[in-house]
Amino acid sequence: MSVLAELKHVSKSYGQIKALDDVTLKIRKGEIFTVIGPNGSGKTTLLKILACIEDPDSGEVHINGERIEDRNRDRAKLNTTLVFQKTTMFSMPVYNNITYGLKLRNIPEKQVGERIKKVLKMVELEGYENRLAKKLSGGEQQRVSLARALALDTSILLLDEPTANLDPKSASIIEEVIRQINRQKSTTILMATHNIFQVEQTAEKAALLMNGKIVEIGAVDKMLEKSKSLSKFARLENIFSGTSEIFEEGTSRVKLDGGIAIETAFQRSGRITVFIRPEDIILSKNRFESSARNVIMGKVVEISDQGSLVRLKVDAGREFISQITKRSFVEMSLNIGSRVFLTFKASSVCLI
């Protein structure tokens, strides 16, 4: 397969933060390529640069074999569509939300109606044309956003965490649509995610992005089988990047992106990435006396029943996953919006 999009030694900074650091990447025509990495690793910046809505500080961007510059940037944008993680809907019906981009491209009215009917069927939102987009659920809005991108029928589809925080039905529909359009139309898809299971189910090739650098790249099956970094990442949740300072003898304090500070049982300074296993986080409704160095208050934003266990997503400035027994869940009478405390030892914070 020929190379459709390429980054050559691309770097990008925002103030003191280096979002991308000398990234080189080739996306071949017709493949599903995934960039996997924790929050703050540079995934969204990479997508914005490929979508031609951000310029790199250095390096080159090529699409269809042509280097992107001021003279051809607007034309290159017509080849790509970026679906953001946080969906923005206009204050108008679903139909008008989807037609907006088509009208900007002067698509004939007859084709507009046909395209909208087709894409709404794909995302299982038939009959939603006249519903107000902002009144839909989060999962439905994300499906409208995907339909809006599909209607443009570009050669490259860029997806930023397409199923993050969605209900299982919407997530399943979106994943199936990704596979379907690639299979039927050979649409080239670049998807940024931290969901390794999604990578296994949809992608052929993957790159592991950490702190703005690509540390590994290759076929998904081989990477999962042989790559220590990706195999370790595949089993993890609660992966965070931040700036670490040596705090006391044998410990460090890490200021995570988002403002939360946690203590670790290792000494390291500079930019690092850490993880905490969900089962190492004690969840309680009240703060209790403990030798653990980390106690963070947050709010339950998602609950997942997994038989004898319940997994909870807690927003504490950053989103943490904690795992408790169903009995504990029932005894604590937890619901969406419940205030809880997350407690974990410094030794539970592991360095990637």
Average pLDDT over residues 36-43: 84
Contacts 24+ apart (CB under 8 A), 288-292: 288/341, 288/343, 290/343, 291/345, 292/343, 292/344, 292/345, 292/346
Domain with CATH 2.40.50.100 in the chain: 242-351
Ramachandran bin of 87, using left for φ above 0, alpha for ψ from -120 to 50, beta for the remaining angles: beta
- pLDDT for residue 126 is more than 90: yes
The backbone torsions φ and ψ at residue 303, rounded to the nearest 5 degrees and listed phi first, read -130, 130
The Cα-based distances of 143 to 126, 133, 147 in angstroms read 11, 11, 6
As assigned by CATH, the class of the 3-234 domain is: alpha beta
Q: What percent of the chain has pLDDT over 90?
A: 50
Q: Which of 50, 48, 2 is nearest to 24 (CA)?
A: 50
- pLDDT for residue 48 is more than 90: yes
Domain with CATH 3.40.50.300 in the chain: 3-234
Question: Rounded distance, CA 227 to CA 53, Å?
Answer: 33
Q: What is the pLDDT of residues 193-226, one digit of tens each?
A: 877 767 877 888 999 998 899 988 988 877 766 6
User: For residue 67, what are the β-bridge partners?
Assistant: 62
Average pLDDT over residues 275-285: 88
**CA end-to-end span of the chain:** 34
Q: 42: which 2 tokens?
A: 């540079």
CA angle centred on 135, ends 129 and 138, rounded to 5°: 100
Q: Which of 82, 93, 68, 231 is nearest to 154 (CA)?
A: 82
CATH of domain 242-351: 2.40.50.100
> Helix 109-122 crosses helix 94-104 at what angle (to 10 degrees)?
130
Average pLDDT over residues 305-318: 84
Handedness of CA 214, 154, 181, 82 (dihedral sign): positive
- pLDDT for residue 21 is more than 90: yes
The pLDDT assigned to 24 comes to 96
